[in-house]
Amino acid sequence: MKDKVPDGVEVWKQFEDLLIPGLRLSVIERAVYSHLLRHSRLEGKPCVRFSIPGLTRVAGLSRWMIRKGLRRLLVKGALRLAEKGKWGHTIEVRLPEEVRAVRKRKIAARQTQPQPSVANFNLEEADFLATRALRRAIHAREGGRCFYCRRRVTPATRCLDHVLPRAWMGGNGYRNLVSCCSECNSRKGERRAEDFLRWLYREGRLESSELKERLRALEKMAAGKMRPAVAGEK
């Protein structure tokens, strides 16, 4: 007997708003998880059975990428290996709200980071990864385009990126977050934004004028001149 089929729209919202930022999923991990989710829980089945070669053909990724994505998703608790045999793998796929790390983060956020009221919201001190509304404010500031390559993005392909990476002690304020496409987010990695923009220029992805404009935008952001629209800010 099949499990109850969850609301696909709500699951996708949880995937984008909770699982991706909560587990810091890479583009490869997102592709693997969404494919397995589509063929399991969204069809009313708790598990999905597959082979690595088969998943490689369907997902359009290399075997190395598939194996890496699976291993990281298993470690992060988004998947559970139910069976591994001669004919393939059987994986239990967890919905975003069922992942332990996501649940703990939500509980901790409610207990230790109460939402600021409109009356006392401080833009300079706000954590713009803390709520959906603040994350959307950063996306809205970029006007539906990737901050780096300037391509159009959609809610399914956009993500937030740290101008100064977390590994370099970059924070979650509006001066250090931009909306970008998932490809740029993956390619940028732990590079600083200005270094990545210059790489895009060398690769022919940006014109000279675009590079200069983007570097000026970084300077304006650092100076606090690219403020996202947030209701009730001081």
pLDDT at 104 (0 to 100): 66
Cβ-based burial of 53 (10 A; exposed 0-12, middle 13-18, buried ≥19): exposed
Per-residue burial over 115-126, b if 16 or more Cβ lie within 10 Å, else e, is eeeeeebebeeb
pLDDT at 108 (0 to 100): 56
| Mean per-residue pLDDT, 131-149 | 93
Name the least confident of 12-21, 147-156, 177-186, 191-200. Answer: 12-21
What's the pLDDT tens digit per position in 200-227?
Answer: 999 999 999 999 999 999 999 999 999 9
What dotted CATH number matches 8-98?
1.10.10.10
- E strand or H helix at 19: none
Does pLDDT of 2 surpass 70?
no
Q: Residue type at 120?
A: N
- E strand or H helix at 225: none
| Mean per-residue pLDDT, 169-191 | 91
| Residue 79: HSE in the Cβ half-sphere, 13 Å Cα cutoff | 27
107 vs 66, higher pLDDT: 66
Contact between residue 231 and residue 179 where contact means Cβ atoms under 8 Å apart: no
Task: Specify which of 25-29, 97-101, 117-121, 216-220 reaches the highest per-range mean pLDDT.
Answer: 216-220
pLDDT at 3 (0 to 100): 61
Domain spans in the chain, listed from the N-terminal domain onward: 8-98, 115-222
| Mean per-residue pLDDT, 165-192 | 90
pLDDT at 1 (0 to 100): 40
Cβ-based burial of 107 (10 A; exposed 0-12, middle 13-18, buried ≥19): exposed
Q: pTM to 2 decimals?
A: 0.52
What's the pLDDT tens digit per position in 65-105?
Answer: 888 989 999 988 999 988 887 778 899 999 988 888 777 66
Instruction: List helix spans (H) across the chain.
Output: 8-14, 20-23, 27-38, 52-59, 63-76, 100-112, 132-141, 182-188, 193-202, 208-222
The CATH architecture of the domain made up of 115-222 is Orthogonal Bundle (1.10)
| Mean per-residue pLDDT, 188-199 | 92
Contact between residue 181 and residue 146 where contact means Cβ atoms under 8 Å apart: yes
Give the SS3 label for residue 27. helix
